[in-house]
Structure 1
Amino acid sequence: MSDLTLDAAQTIVAAALKAGRALNLKPLAVVVYDARGALKAAGVEDGTSLKRTEIAAAKANGALALGIGSRAIGRRAEEQAYFVAAVSHIAGPAGLVPVPGGVLIRRDGRLLGAVGISGDTSDNDETAAVAGIEAAGLQPETGA
């Protein structure tokens, strides 16, 4: 069973969305999975474009599938395109999106889950994810 509580996951979503508003980002979709890959919490702002939730989910799912933040997956896609393409086929229905915005959630080095955000630039999505994770008193791993 995951140690990522519903309260912590909801804090991540709320704080990430709050950070997005403070930074004047485009409307965001936020998805939080626990370490098993089970959906723990999600929030989608009014005005997000179509499929943002699916993109956010794929960023988080990819981070969990490979055990690294999606920023690192993006670098790996440039270096080993065939590998990342192959993993995207076996990553399950949620998929994989190899750009920043999928951030692992850790506590004292232990993997608790991942958050994925989509809506603005990938770097800004990642900034909001980090803010959400830190607001919950947990440690983000972006793959930087």
Structure 2
Amino acid sequence: SRLEKEMEEVAAGKRDPREVIEDSRLLLKKVVERLKENSENVGEEIRKALKEDIRAGRCPRCGAEMMEVRSKWGKRYLRCSNYPRCGKSYPLPQKGTVKYTTDSCPHCRAPMIIYKPPRGREVRMCVNPSCPSVKEGKHEKK
């Protein structure tokens, strides 16, 4: 990048560091001004991206999207996006990574996830702790 080249020139004694700092400050000022001008659009794009990332299948009770949320204690869980009209929710594993699928469990219609524990292999599983597939340990290893 341009800044890296300028820093190399400063290190080699070919450029005054104050000049590079001033150039960087002006560049940063322009970026901040553009962000301020477009803050509403930027905020909306971030909201859209976050909403897309948290889609986690359909609620078996009302059919709305399920979404990942965090409790006030920092625990992650799935909750129906139709909250508070529909209060359906499921706990999620607190450690490891969770990937969402569009599939529903064949036993209880709850969302299916792909769970990768901190150690071990990925498993495809139902999020409903009361589901017969969970109680029987019928997880699909990936």
TM range (shorter): under 0.3
Higher gyration radius (CA):
2
Q: Higher strand share goes to which structure? A: 2
TM-score, structure 1 length as denominator? 0.25
Q: Higher helix share goes to which structure? A: 1
